[in-house]
Structure 1
């Protein structure tokens, strides 16, 4: 395979119009506008509704994850108010920024043609296309992982005397990634692997900027460590505890690999697999630092996910930070297909041609479906089922609260807490919502007013997870008032029970517990 074309030697003249910057900018701007529309009109998922509460109470840490997604949501709420768009705003814009960073990274490593394909492929992956609409910690972790690769590519480019300062940016972006999601720790390990393995990259060890960048990354995480120290290391215990195996099985390996190939976009996945093969060969035989960068920096995290799949399920979104690297390797191959011949080249050309239309079309259908359901036939198997029917539930709760003189709403699940709180807010109700257990999740929120929680309340639970039998130990009165059915397009999704609870036994403090699942 020929040496990659450099950014300095290639011009736009030889590119198809779809790979030129004006077309790419228009592509990203239009997609971003559509995502903003969908993000402002689609209801929140359970996790998003829960993270919305983080945005209302910014903190240095939370039980489930580091704080970045909470800060992003807080910024959105400050900009556009407390609504669905606010929860998703910064994440959607971050995907556009990530596209720009990926273009620049690929431009430096493999030239303009590859850079164009990187932008197209990135936005055509199923996980990024759909995930960009959902506010989760994966979104900032993907952005900062990609920005870290960009800074390394800037440092790697030849002929620039001041490039060592980019190693400070590496530390900055890696640190911000660490306070987005703890899995970015593996990126640090991957950077070390790349620096040690590539002769061209080892020069970094002789620069003070590399060590200062590492210190900067650690300093950025200090507030998160302090938060954990003040809260019994809750977040660290929860997340790092998942790495401990409790038995071994091979049942999840196929599921893990299959899910990621599908979420990458099957057409892009095949091209990326070819790219991985080429990257391995060029890394081993030629010590090509450019090809090795996305490969080796991803290796520790992929190895961990593979290890995890040997004892437990890998959630589909977990590998999201690997997608910028996978897209880079796919783009390298896509840019060089014309230099190939034979059946493989023909297959790759076909996959390259259909990858973007397929990925974008799937995303657009999901966006429309998230806003206005196209069908209810899939019921709970529909990935958007969490978004449906909450205004009706809020209406019933509001009416019952008035009738029963209830002063607050109780739940026993964080997803229900978030959904009911958001639904009541959207309905204009000021009823506060408190989860009775797992209070560590709400350490950022002031404790419920004792004078409030001793008053009558409504308890809300999904029928299949109803824990009302436990209420008798905490409340003197427990009465089922109503059952509401969440629906989509006339198809029942689940039933929600609403109880009246009153007479807190042992006072306000006895009502709540800090136990976690």
Structure 2
């Protein structure tokens, strides 16, 4: 068995090295820089998400410095470890079928995993701890040892401390317990309950932070669901967007295999009361139904269902034994690898001069180094005591990338949930503002536009415009909207 696994392990190692290299050479996207700000002041929670992404970044920067690689270090490494755990889980759930390597390969062939391994977002730790929880539950299924409930509970709690959608993991486990007669016997034993206690202890800092901050994060994320107006046209559009995003982000053939695998898991449990198949169905179908329901009233971001794919990949690898499905495995890996490789190549070298609307890598990653140099030159020319931005992502990029010593100020209500100093009064700063925010005045009271070409900067890659910005003179004053001085990267 070990010899048979060697090609898969070598491929995983090579892929991980490629991802680490890309993580090192690509500039941070605005959201990544924002999460880096979180890591500079660890808390029990934040307005947007629980704190695990900040903990991942803090660990990475302690090992590799405050660099793009440091921020992203645990992304490729956690996906590599998660892939090994997924392989083991598939073997424990369906021994003898050699489904593990195929399950891990299918997951790695998706854009969701391939791009998510490089971009450090809350989905990065979420996907790892979700997969690790499946591994612990598979160990429980294979061994019957109740102590694995404790491991599963702790890992599920860490998933919930990564992103609130991990509540679907608890829902799936509960369904598994209640729906299978053999599993219901565990309800009379202490281990599942102790596992639940461990999960809540792991999540307790998030609850405490919300309690101290007016339940701000719970209210913000809870308000995402069910906010549609019931319009049929909107519902159909949102549903189409969600399904289309999954076809693209999972890659078409992997998506087809995962959907068929989920259906096979449900069918196998219904016909044979197979507890392993039920576990997979419970971790896929309720979540899929909730995302589809939510799409009838509001837009569902394409990355949110990423958590469904580890279990779906196992189902596709273990339960689709018919030749017509088996023949799709290699083409699925080839197509997924080609699509992911194309994104990697475009992000790193941009061989195609695509416009912003057709190239997400242009909008998020392109031209930051030259742009930061232009901002610093403009600040020096204006004699600015600080550089400011209203957009939290842009402000965070400035804080991470401008030279050491340059004060960076952010103006946004979210910063009131951080313990950050306020900008000094009575000094003049330079506000950088995207033209995409329109022609209306900045939120900063009394902002004065800098006229002419001196007041406009463009971020580009290879002559293609990623974004244009206007510059304004600003002065802090009492009574203005909340503003904060952001922490700075040690490396500038």
Q: Which moved more, 1:22-31 or 1:378-387?
A: 378-387
1:494 matches 2:480: no
For residue 443 of structure 1, report the CA deviation from its aligned partner: 2.6
Please say if 1:31 is aligned against 2:15.
yes
Q: Determine the structure 2 residue equivalent to 1:325.
A: 311
- Residue 455 (structure 1) aligned with residue 424 (structure 2): no
Residues 95 and 132 of structure 1 are in contact (CA less than 8 Å); yes or no, is this contact kept in structure 2? Answer: yes
Q: 2:140 aligned with 1:188, yes or no?
A: no
Task: Give, in whole Å, the separation in 2 of the partners of 1:398 and 1:278.
Answer: 58
The 2-side partners of 1:279 and 1:441 are apart by: 45
Distance 2:270 2:447 in 1: 71
Residues 466/420 of structure 1: CA separation in 2 closer, same or farther (3 Å cut): farther
The residue aligned with 2:490 is none
Higher deviation after alignment, 206-215 or 478-487 = 478-487
Which of 98, 123, 138 is the aligned partner of 1:138?
123
Match of 1:4 in 2: none
1:172-251 to structure 2, matched below 5 A, reads 172-248=154-230, 249-251=235-237
Residues matched between the structures, number: 476
1:267 aligns with 2:253: yes
1:168 aligns with 2:150: yes
- Residues 93, 453 of structure 1: alpha-carbon distance in 2 compared, 3 angstrom cutoff: farther
Distance in structure 1 (CA, Å) of the matches to 2:267 and 2:384: 67
Instruction: Work out whether residues 75 and 116 of structure 2, in 8 Å CA contact, stay in contact via their aligned partners in 1.
Output: no
Alignment of 1:303-452 (within 5 A): 303-334=289-320, 336=321, 340=322, 345=323, 347-385=324-362, 386-424=364-402, 428-438=403-413, 440-441=414-415, 443-449=417-423, 452=424
Q: Gaps (5+ residues) in structure 2?
A: 485-492
- Which range moved further: 213-222 or 370-379? 370-379
C-alpha distance in 2 between matches for 1:513 and 1:421: 14
Give the 3 Å change call, closer, same or farther, for CA 349–66 of structure 1 in structure 2: same
Aligned pairs (5 A) from 1:273-312: 273-312=259-298
In structure 2, distance between residues paired with 1:380 and 1:418: 23
| 1:512 counterpart (466, 482, 488) | 482
Match among 457, 464, 468 for residue 436 of structure 2: 464
User: Structure 1 residues 487 and 188 mapped into 2: Cα distance closer, same or farther (>3 Å)?
Assistant: same
Query: 1:87, 1:124 → 2: CA distance?
Result: 23
Alignment partner, residue 474 of structure 1: 445
Q: 1:60 aligns with which of 34, 44, 52?
A: 44
Check the 8 A contact 2:50/2:163 in 1, yes or no.
yes
Distance apart, 1:270 and its partner CA: 1.9
Deviations 1:171-206 (A, max 9, x none): 101100010000111111111111111122122212
TM-score norm. by structure 1 comes to 0.88
Check whether the contact 2:262–2:284 (CA below 8 A) recurs between aligned residues: no
1:141-156 alignment runs, 5 A limit: 141-156=126-141
Tell me, which stretches of 5 or more residues in structure 1 are unaligned?
1-10
Q: Secondary structure at the match of 1:416?
A: helix
- 1:64 is paired with a residue whose SS is coil
Tell me if the contact between 1:252 and 1:310 (Cα under 8 Å) persists in the aligned partners. yes
Q: Which moved more, 1:117-126 or 1:27-36?
A: 117-126
Shift of 1:478: 4.8
CA offsets per residue over residues 69-124 of structure 1, 9 Å max, x none?
A: 01101111111111111111112111001101101100111135111111211111
Separation of aligned partners in 2, 1:398 and 1:513: 20
Q: Separation in 2 of the partners of 1:83 and 1:150?
A: 32
Structure 1 CA distance for aligned equivalents of residues 38 and 69 of structure 2 = 15
CA offset digits 1:218-269 (Å, max 9, x no partner): 1111111111111111111110111133312232112212221332221122
Q: 2-side partners of 1:202 and 1:468: how far apart?
A: 60
Kindly indicate whether residue 76 of structure 2 is the aligned counterpart of residue 92 of structure 1: yes
* Pairwise CA distance, 1:474: 2.2
Q: Residue 471 of structure 2: SS of its match in structure 1?
A: strand
Name which of structure 1's ranges 250-259 and 76-85 shifts more when overlaid on structure 2: 250-259
After TM superposition, the structure 1 stretch with the greater mean CA deviation from structure 2, 299-308 or 361-370, is 361-370
Kept in 1, the 8 Å contact 2:261–2:315? The answer is: yes
> Structure 1 residues 46, 197: CA separation in 2 closer, same or farther (over 3 Å shift)?
same
Q: CA deviation at 1:287?
A: 0.9
Contact in 2 for aligned 1:412/1:467 (Cα 8 Å): no
Query: Cα RMSD (Å) of the superposition?
Result: 2.0
1:421-445 superposed Cα distances (whole Å, 9 cap, x missing partner): 2231xxx34222222222x346334
Distance 1:25 1:476, change over 3 A: closer
Q: Deviations over 1:8-60 (max 9, x none)?
A: xxx56xxxx7xx22112111110000000000001111211211111222211
